[in-house]
Each structure stands twice: as C-alpha cells, then as structure tokens.
Structure 1
C-alpha cells in the first residue's frame, strides 16, 4: 500500500493542475473528476487535494476565491494562474517523458527475459 500512496502523492499535483487548466474547480469536484475519469483507479482524498492545493497557492501557482452557493453556503474555487499554467506544462512534459522512459525499460526487460 505504501507504493500506491507514494505514487498518488507524486501525481496529485499534476492531476489537480490538469483539471484547473481546463476550468476553475472546488476541492470535492476535483476529487470527483479524478475518480470518475480514472474509472475509479485513482482516488484522491479531499485532504490530499486540499494540502496539494494549499501548497500551490503558497507558490503562487493557484489562487482561491469564495463563491456563494445558495443562501448561506460558500465554496472555495481554485483558479490556475499563468505561472501555474507554465508550471503545469513543464510538469506534464516531464511526466510524459518519464512515463515513456519507464515503458521502454519495462518493454526492454521483458524482451531480454524472453530471449
């Protein structure tokens, strides 16, 4: 289970940024989008999402805005700033290269094993 948590924590920021790159969202919605779009294979807790988002706010990548929903309730929506968009694009490119590299290593090792 520790390996799964390490990987999830490592990609949480990328997943959150990818959602915010498309639209402003609030914590619960971010969790729901990740779970639904991964067919339930990835599920981030609200606490994980909130902690990652707060870190990005502190870094100036994301801002937050309180939006009134209903008569008394408010939601905190997160917005991706230009600095965050640049960071997301670099992070996404790094992820793609790492993913491709890992796949190549797995494929190469499998071929060597079959010889």
Structure 2
C-alpha cells in the first residue's frame, strides 16, 4: 500500500510538471502567434534564440501543442507556397486563442509571483 501511495505521489508530481510545461509551451506559441503568423520550425528557433539558449523545445512538442490548440479552435493553419514547389504550414492565432493567451499569462504571472513571494519569505 505504501508503494502505491508513493508511486501515486510521484505520478501526480510528474502529471503536474507536464501540465506546467505544456502550459508554458502553449503560452510561448500563442505569444509568438499574437505578433505574427509562424511555422513550427520558426517558433522552435525563436524560442531558443529569444531565451538566449536557456529554453529549447523540440519541434515534436511544438507540433503536439499546435495540433491541440488547433483542435480547440484557438489557432488555425494555412499552407503557403515557399519557392516553386515547397509549401509551409503557417499557424494563425484566433480570437479564442487571444483570450486563452490572456488566461495563460495571468496564471503564469500569478504562479511565478507566488513562488517568488514564498522564496523571498524563506531567505
């Protein structure tokens, strides 16, 4: 019984961590798309560059998040011809995505401020 309880706690921590990471990924994607339409590789490279190399999110993770956001109606996609034969899939933020971005931003800021307050009180 103790093993299951400990395992469950670890599972909950992992689930919470994944939820937090997914939220940050969505926050970053929507923030980039709020400025301009973009394709996955562009988003991935921009995250890495703008973070000074501190953040690196795989294209696979970005694709998974864009698929989810698109299914929820928060973003849309369109194809654009690049060169003579190559097409790129661009993503565009929708009104629902802008509203969701505001919620994510508020949640993120509240979480960061709460953690900072706790850490400051312990020092």
Query: Is this a same-fold pair by TM over 0.5?
Result: yes
Tell me if 1:80 matches 2:110: no
- Spell out the pairing of 1:24-43 with structure 2 (5 A cutoff): 24-43=37-56
What TM-score do the two structures reach when normalised by structure 2?
Answer: 0.82
Report the Cα offset of residue 80 of structure 1. 0.1
- RMSD over aligned Cα atoms: 1.4
Q: Distance in 1 between matches of 2:25 and 2:122?
A: 29
Contact 1:8–1:44 at 8 Å: present in 2 too?
no
Q: Give the paired residue count.
A: 107
Per the alignment, residue 98 of structure 1 pairs with 111
Secondary structure class of the residue paired with 2:80: strand
How far the C-alpha of 1:98 sits from its partner, in A, is 0.8
Structure 1: gaps (5+ residues): 111-115
Structure 2: distance between partners of 1:37 and 1:99: 19
Aligned to 1:54: 67
